[in-house]
Amino acid sequence: MTEAVATAQKREYWRWREYDWRDESLDWKRAGGISVGIDVGSVSSQAVVMCDGKLFAYSSLRTGSNSKTSAQRALEVALQETGMPREKVNYLVATGYGRVNIPFAQKAITEIACHARGANFIYGPTVKTVLDMGGQDCKAIRCDGRGKVTNFLMNDKCAAGTGRGMEVMAELLQIPIEDVGPASLSLPEEPPPVSSTCVVFAKSEALGLLRQNWSKEKVLGSFCLAMAHRTVELLSRVGVEKDFAITGGISKNIGIVKRIETKLGVEALKPSIDPQIAGALGAALFAKALYEKELSGNAKTGS
């Protein structure tokens, strides 16, 4: 019994909240085309539903062990309470790490193309550099005014600079992941960055700093600073052209965003739409274009 109680009380500091949203003012029944994008990432999955190119509903959930069921669940949650049956979806594009394992998608498109396309929708045509900070990778993407990728670089080999690395640190310091950013900024002055690149080594280093009586906030600040340095290195290798925007889960961590901005000397655009859905949103936009192409193709052959 005591064990059960202990399990129930054990807080998972890394666990971020799943969420969903829908535009109740939009009547999907009047839409000419319904397009869906699903981004099955290594850590989180998002589904975005668009009606005639307008954002209608979305969800963001934790990815399970199976890509197909994670995608299904994301779409179900996005569509719940809308009354829209899944069969109404005209075109579905999958993206992300698990994109090839989603049998009900008409097409799979890389997350790099989708993030650039999604960022173009969220931030407008002035965005030329997109930094996507995801669960298990980090991408620096250059794109044109139409959201088309011109160049990119990614780190998917190492947890340093990814959401997973941040989860590990949140768990170690027992600070809820949503509070990491603000906590890391609540310092009178910036601490020196941790010297370890590797998250495993950074963990031992963090423990050593705590033993030297550093506050949790100071250790977090030190870790966030090192993570920002590493990300800026990746960015400078592709080159940063204004405007600059950040997508993916870590874009919500103010402690990382602020430090990247300071280091780059460039401010990131403020999002009007949740930047974590950028990949799925881009996929939904591709789905819309592909559906329209299909329609016009049918019209041609039909005439």
Partner 1 sequence: MITAGIDGGARAIKVLILRDGKQLARSSALTGFDQQATVTQALESALQQAGVAREELQHITATGIGRKAISFADSEVTEMSADAKATVSLFPQARTVIDVGAEEGRAIRCEPDGRVKDFAVNEKCAAGAGTFVETMARTLEIKLEEAGALSLKAEKVIPMNAQCAVFAESEVVSLIHSGTAKEEIIRAVHEAMADRISAMARRVGIEREVALVGGVGRDAGFIKALAGKLGMELFVPMEPEFAGALGAALIAAERARAS
Q: Is 44 or 120 the residue whose CB approaches partner 1 more closely?
A: 44
Q: How far is the CB of 240 from partner 1 (least distance, A)?
A: 25
* Residues 104, 264 contacting (CB under 8 angstroms): no
For 107, other C-beta atoms within 10 Å of its C-beta total: 14
- Does 249 sit near partner 1 (CB under 8 A)? no
Site string for partner 1, 129-148 (x = CB under 8 A): -------x------------
Kindly tell me which residue out of 128, 164, 218, 288 binds partner 1, with binding defined by CB under 8 A: 164
Q: Position 246: which residue type?
A: I
Q: How far is the CB of 187 from partner 1 (least distance, A)?
A: 24
- Does 100 sit near partner 1 (CB under 8 A)? no
Q: Is 71 or 287 the residue whose CB approaches partner 1 more closely?
A: 71
Q: Is 67 or 222 the residue whose CB approaches partner 1 more closely?
A: 67
Burial class of residue 64 (count of CB atoms within 10 Å of its CB; 0-12, 13-18, 19+): middle
Kindly tell me which residue out of 40, 47, 138, 168 binds partner 1, with binding defined by CB under 8 A: 168
Residues 6+ apart with CB under 8 A from 60: 18, 19, 20, 44, 45, 46, 74, 274, 276, 277
CA distance 119 to 127: 7
Binding-site size, partner 1 (CB under 8 A): 17
* Residues 217, 184 contacting (CB under 8 angstroms): yes
Looking up tokens 């969420």 gives: 19
List contacts with partner 1 (CB under 8 A).
42, 65, 136, 157-159, 164-165, 168, 196-201, 204, 211
